[in-house]
């Protein structure tokens, strides 16, 4: 039996179809992005009359590094800083920004944009009595001594 015989082509086509169907089923069963869950918990944990902020910086240099800065007395910010380094890319800050935009329901940038800088803001209803303004500030390029960063700030508005 050679590669051009009808039975080999049918077997290959059948295997490809099964692989495609298995992949589609797997996508439907996919769990939510852990970054989305972590950001949702962060927003939900915004103090009732205050704000909180987390800033993640990465350095893809000789010694790849990721760091997270936050206020020590904010539980939701501490929790998010513990989770982010495990869930973000050190090499591609732009991928982190795109994921965060998607998770927060913001307009998502183009996947081909490796160099992005800006601020996006959205208002989220946390409950019937409470809403929060979420601000995403980012720069995916190293500029002088400033490392690429992604900052998430949540501010209670009512």
Residue 71 clears pLDDT 90, i.e. is over it: no
- What is residue 102's predicted lDDT score, i.e. its pLDDT? 93
> How many structural domains comprise the chain?
2
d(CA 80, CA 98): 18
Question: Percent of the chain at pLDDT above 90?
Answer: 41
pLDDT in tens, 41-65: 999 989 888 999 999 999 988 888 8
Closest CA relative to residue 74, chosen from 92, 55, 87: 55
How confident is the prediction for the chain on average, in pLDDT? 81
Task: Please check whether residues 24 and 40 belong to one and the same domain.
Answer: no
Domain span at residue 109? 34-156
Q: Is residue 55 located within the same domain as residue 112?
A: yes
How far is the C-alpha of 20 from the C-alpha of 134, rounded, in Å?
38
Does 3 share its domain with 78? no
**CA gap 11, 117 in Å, rounded:** 50
Distance separating alpha carbons of residues 81 and 75, to the nearest angstrom = 10
Specify whether 75 is located in the same domain as 25.
no
Residue 49 structure tokens: 């009359």
Confidence of residue 22 (pLDDT cuts 50, 70, 90): very low
| Residues 97 and 122 occupy one common structural domain | yes
Same domain, 64 and 137: yes
Residue 67 pairs in a beta bridge with 57
28 torsion bin: left (phi>0), alpha (psi -120 to 50), beta (else): alpha
Task: Quote the percentage of the chain above a pLDDT of 70.
Answer: 80
Q: Are residues 55 and 13 in the same domain?
A: no
Joined together, the tokens standing for residue 28 give 């439907």
Burial class (CB in 10 A: 0-12, 13-18, 19+), 118: exposed
152 closest CA partner among 139, 140, 135, 133? 135
Please check whether residues 96 and 141 belong to one and the same domain.
yes
Question: Same domain for 47 and 124?
Answer: yes
So what's the pLDDT on residue 132? 94
* 22 and 97 inside one domain: no
Predicted confidence at residue 143, as pLDDT, reads 87
- State pTM to two decimals: 0.75
Question: How long, in residues, is the chain?
Answer: 158
Residues 5 and 44 grouped into a single domain: no
CATH number for the domain spanning 111: value is 3.30.450
Same structural domain for residues 80 and 137?
yes
Residues 110-150: tens digit of each pLDDT: 767 678 899 999 998 888 888 999 999 999 998 888 899 99
pLDDT at position 2, please?
Answer: 52
């Amino acid at each position: 039996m050679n590669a051009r015989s009808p039975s080999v082509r049918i077997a290959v086509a059948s295997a490809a179809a099964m692989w495609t169907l298995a992949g589609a089923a797997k996508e439907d069963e996919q769990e939510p992005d852990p970054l989305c869950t972590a950001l949702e918990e962060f927003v939900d944990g915004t103090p009732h009359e205050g704000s909180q902020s987390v800033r993640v910086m990465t350095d893809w240099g000789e010694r790849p590094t990721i760091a997270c800065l936050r206020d020590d007395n904010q539980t939701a910010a501490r929790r998010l800083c513990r989770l982010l380094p495990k869930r973000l890319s050190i090499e591609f800050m732009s991928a982190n920004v795109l994921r965060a935009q998607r998770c927060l329901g913001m307009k998502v940038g183009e996947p081909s944009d490796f160099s992005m800088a800006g601020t996006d803001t959205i208002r989220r209803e946390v409950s019937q009595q409470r809403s929060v303004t979420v601000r995403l500030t980012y720069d995916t390029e190293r500029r002088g001594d400033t490392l690429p960063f992604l900052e998430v700030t949540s501010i209670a508005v009512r």
